[in-house]
Amino acid sequence: MFQLDEYFDGLQQCTSEETLLACFDEAAKTVGYAGYNIFYGYLDDRGRVTPELGGYDNSTLPAPLVETYDQEEWHSVDPLLAYESRSLVPFTTASAFANTVPGSVTETMWHAMLDFKIEHELNIPIRRANGAGQISLHMADRSKDVFAHFQETLPIAHTIMTAFYGVFENRFLRKSPLFLTPENPFTPREKDCLQWAAQGHSNADLAERLGVSVRTAKFHVENAMKKIDAKTRAEAVAIALTRGYIQL
């Protein structure tokens, strides 16, 4: 059984980009995923994600596919980039290509992905004030029911991915002047509540730590959720981690 506490501790102990990626990759494999793709790009003046403005890209994707993607400039038609520039809801690669027009460049891109058998990906969008991106995990065992596997592993996979990215951005990506952190929208109490919620504490735990009633603790959490348009407590934690408002 996957141990989240051990994984969180492992992330904190990583001292280099390589060891952090290795820790993330190992965790992903324990829940049935064989590889990853981490991409972050900046938004152009039309609100589209583009690697041409700089960013970050690291993956275990086959090198020939990556080379073709760059040479053909598929980022300009990539439905994955279009999706992550407007949504924070996890999605599958197959669903992003569902409305592909026959004979289009996008269809060519999709068939290239099928050739390398990486169509079964779970994608978690990343959104910040000046850009967007995604973390993708590739299915390890394609003999399984793909969507059943996604549904079964989504909660733990989402936690693994967002926890990794929160640490990764804070430790390494922010060293670049391009990774500007927008002003934290939370009050100190709201930030503390989300910080502790990210560590698995209940509202009752938050109330005890703050010395307030459970109702007051819940009030702080709900205020934080409203400020970042989160519909659930878990979504608020995920958004706060990916935007760097809180850290694990």
- Common-topology check for domains 4-175 and 188-242: no
Q: Which two tokens stand for residue 203?
A: 């509202």
User: What are the residue boundaries of the structural domains of the chain, listed by start?
Assistant: 4-175, 188-242
pLDDT for 111 equals 92
Query: With a threshold of 0.75, does the pTM exceed it?
Result: no
- Mean pLDDT per block of 10 residues along the chain (248 residues) reads 82 89 91 85 62 65 87 83 81 88 92 86 78 81 80 89 84 57 74 89 89 88 88 87 76
Question: Which CATH code, of 3.90.1580.10, 1.10.10.10, 1.20.810.10, 1.10.3720.10, is assigned to 188-242?
Answer: 1.10.10.10
Q: Which two tokens stand for residue 16?
A: 């280099």
- What is the C-alpha to C-alpha distance for residues 246 and 101, in angstroms, rounded to an integer? 41
pLDDT for 47 equals 59
Question: Which CATH code, of 2.30.110.10, 3.40.190.10, 3.30.450.80, 3.40.50.150, is assigned to 4-175?
Answer: 3.30.450.80
What is the DSSP track for 4-54? HHHHHHHHHH--SHHHHHHHHHHHHHHTTEEEEEEEEEEE-TTS-EEEEEE
pLDDT for 180 equals 45
pLDDT for 46 equals 60
